[in-house]
Amino acid sequence: MVATTQQKPETDKKKIDDKKGTGKAEPKKEEMTEEDQKLEEDLNLLVQRLSEPDASLYKPSLETMRTLIRASTTSMTSVPKPLKFMRPHYAKMKEIYTSIVAPDVKKLCADIISVLAMTSDERTDTINYRILGSHEPIGDWGHEYVRHLAMEMSEEWKKEGTSEARKEELIQLTQDIVSHHMKHNAEVEACDLLIEIERIDLLISYVQEVDHQRVCLYLLSCAPLTPDPDNIILIRTALQLYLKFNRYLEAVRCAIMVNDVPKVREIFSKADNPLLRKQMAILLGRHQIFLDYEGAEDSDALAELNSNSHLYEYFHSLARELDIMEPKTPEGIYKSHLEHSRPFGNSSQPDSTRMNLAAALVNGFVNCGFGVDKMMAETEEASRWFYKNKEYGMLTAAASQGLIWRWDIDTGLAQCDRFLYINDDYIKAGTLLAIGIISSGIQDACDPASALLLDHVQSDRSIMRVGSILGLGLAYANSKRETVTKNEERGVIFELKKVLSDQKPSAIPEVKGLAGLSLGLILVGTADAEAAMEMLQALMDKSETELTDPNMRFLALGIALIFLQTQDKSDVFVESLRSLPDPFGAMVSTLVEVCAYAGTGNVLKIQKLLHLCSEHYETPAAEKKTAPGRGTRGTNAASATNAAGAGTATPARPATQSVSTDSTTTPAPSGTPAVAPGAPKKDGPAGAAATPAAPGTAGADAAPAPPAKPDLSSQQAVAVLGIGLIAMGDDIGSQMALRMFGHLIRYGEPVIRRAVPLALSLLSVSNPQLNILETLSKFSHDSDSDTAHNAIFAMGLVGAGTNNARLVAMLRNLASYHYKDQVSLMLVRIAQGLTHLGKGTMTLNPWHSDRQLLSPSALASLLSICFCFLDANNTVLNSRQHYLLYTLVLAMQPRMLTTLIEDDMKPGSLKQLNVSVRVGQAVDVVAQAGKPKTITGFQTHTTPVLLAHGERAELANDEYISVTPHLEGLVILKKNPDYQPVVVSTKK
Predicted confidence (pLDDT) per residue in 310-360, tens digit = 888 888 888 888 888 888 887 788 887 777 665 554 544 455 778 888 888
At 238 the pLDDT is 92
For the cut 80, the answer to whether the pLDDT of residue 828 exceeds it is: yes
Quote the CA–CA distance of 436 and 443 in Å, as a whole number.
11
Quickly state the pLDDT bin for 712 (edges 50, 70, 90).
low
Sequence-ordered list of residues with C-beta below 8 angstroms from that of 355, at least 6 positions apart, any chain = 822, 825, 826, 829
pLDDT at residue number 722: 92
pLDDT tier for residue 618 given thresholds of 50, 70 and 90: low
- pLDDT band (50, 70, 90) for residue 483: confident
pLDDT at position 617 is 61
Higher pLDDT, 616 or 893: 893
Cβ neighbours of residue 56 closer than 8 Å, sequence gap 6 or more: none
The tally of domains found in the chain comes to 2
Q: How far apart are CA 348 and CA 352, in angstroms?
A: 8
Domain assignment present for residue 260? The answer is no
Q: Is residue 531 part of a domain?
A: yes
pLDDT(689) > 80: no
pLDDT of 220 > 50? The answer is yes
Torsion of CA 619, 625, 631, 633, to 10 degrees: -90
Q: Is the pLDDT of residue 798 over 50?
A: yes
Please tell me the distance from the alpha carbon of residue 235 to that of residue 241, in angstroms, as a whole number: 10
> Which pLDDT score is estimated for 270?
86
Report the pLDDT value the prediction gives residue 758, as an integer from 0 to 100: 92
d(CA 341, CA 184): 70
pLDDT at position 651 is 40
Bridge partners, residue 902, by sequence: 910
Residue 534, in any domain of the structure: yes
Mean pLDDT in residue range 830-838: 90
Q: What is the pLDDT of residue 588?
A: 87
Split at pLDDT 50, 70, 90, the class of 75 is: low
pLDDT of residue 720: 92
Range of the domain at 944: 896-975
Position 626 scores a pLDDT of 35
* 239 falls within a domain: no
Question: Looking at the domain assignment, is residue 512 inside a domain?
Answer: yes
- The CA distance from 316 to 335, in Å, is 26
- Average pLDDT along the chain: 78
- pLDDT greater at residue 546 or residue 253: 253
Between helix 164-183 and helix 125-132 the angle, nearest 10°, is: 90
Q: Say yes or no to pLDDT of 539 above 70.
A: yes
**What average pLDDT does this structure show over 149-169?**
81
- pLDDT score of 756: 92
Tell me whether residue 861 is in a domain: no
Give me the residues paired with residue 893 across strands: 843
Task: Please list the helix, strand and coil fractions of the chain in percent, rounded to the nearest 5, in that order.
Answer: 60, 5, 35
Of 547, 568, 592, which marks where a domain is finished? 592
Q: Per residue, what are the HEC states of 775-842?
A: HHHHHCCCCCHHHHHHHHHHHHHHCCCCCCHHHHHHHHHHHHHCCCCHHHHHHHHHHHHHHCHHHHCE
Percent of the chain with pLDDT over 90: 7
Number of residues that this document lists for the chain: 988
| H/E element, 893 | strand 893-894
Query: Which pLDDT belongs to residue 795?
Result: 92
* Domain end among 592, 615, 642: 592
pLDDT recorded at residue 642: 40
The band of 431, judged by pLDDT with boundaries at 50, 70 and 90, is confident
Amino acid 143: pLDDT: 81
Whether 559 has a pLDDT exceeding 70, the answer reads yes
Q: Above 80 in pLDDT, residue 964?
A: yes
Contacts of residue 775, defined as CB under 8 A and 6 or more positions apart, other chains included, come to 760
Q: What is the pLDDT of residue 986?
A: 64
d(CA 330, CA 105): 89
Burial of 672 (0-12, 13-18, 19+ CB in 10 A): exposed
Of 538-542, 739-743, 759-763, 893-897, the poorest mean pLDDT is in 538-542
Average pLDDT over residues 603-629: 63
The pLDDT value recorded for residue 631 is: 37
Stretch 548-561: mean pLDDT: 87
Q: What pLDDT, on a 0 to 100 scale, did the predictor assign at position 987?
A: 61
pLDDT tens per residue across span 643-652: 333 333 334 3
Task: Tell me if 911 is assigned to some domain.
Answer: yes
The SS3 assignment for 961 reads strand
CA 78 – CA 80 distance, rounded (Å): 6
| pLDDT classification of 691: cutoffs 50, 70, 90 | very low
Q: What pLDDT does residue 648 have?
A: 36
- Residue 723 and residue 745: Cα distance in Å, rounded? 14
Provide the pLDDT for residue 351.
57
**pLDDT over 60 (residue 668):** no
H or E, element range at 912? strand 910-912
Q: How far does CA 307 lie from the centroid of its chain?
A: 24
Output the pLDDT for position 862. 92
What average pLDDT does range 404-427 have in this prediction? 82
For residues 518 and 493, is the Cβ–Cβ distance under 8 A? no
Q: What mean pLDDT do residues 550-576 have? A: 86
In the predicted model, what is the mean pLDDT of residues 658-674? 37
Domain boundary residue, one of 544, 573, 592: 592
Decide if pLDDT at 671 tops 50: no
> Could you write out the three-class secondary structure of 22-90?
CCCHHHHHHHCCHHHHHHHHHHHHHHHHHHCCCHHHHHHHHHHHHHHHHHCCCCCCCCCHHHHHHHHHH
Residue 581 belongs to a domain: yes
pLDDT per position as a tens digit, 692-701: 333 333 333 3
Please give the pLDDT value at position 73.
57
User: Rounded to two decimals, what is the model's pTM?
Assistant: 0.80
pLDDT attached to residue 984: 67
Residue 116 CA to residue 93 CA, distance in Å, equals 9
CA distance 707 to 688: 13
Q: What are the backbone dihedrals phi and psi of residue 936, each rounded to the nearest 5 degrees, phi first?
A: -135, 155
For residue 141, what is the DSSP state?
Answer: G
Lowest-confidence region among 42-56, 139-153, 369-383, 536-550: 369-383
Q: How confident is the model over 885-930, as pLDDT tens digits?
A: 888 998 998 988 999 998 888 877 888 888 999 999 888 888 887 7
CA-nearest of 192, 119, 193 to 157 is 193
pLDDT at 659 over 50: no
Tell me what pLDDT residue 387 has: 75
Q: Percent of the chain at pLDDT above 70?
A: 84
pLDDT value, residue 790? 92
Confidence of residue 784 (pLDDT cuts 50, 70, 90): confident
- Which helix (H) or strand (E) segment holds residue 252: the answer is helix 248-257
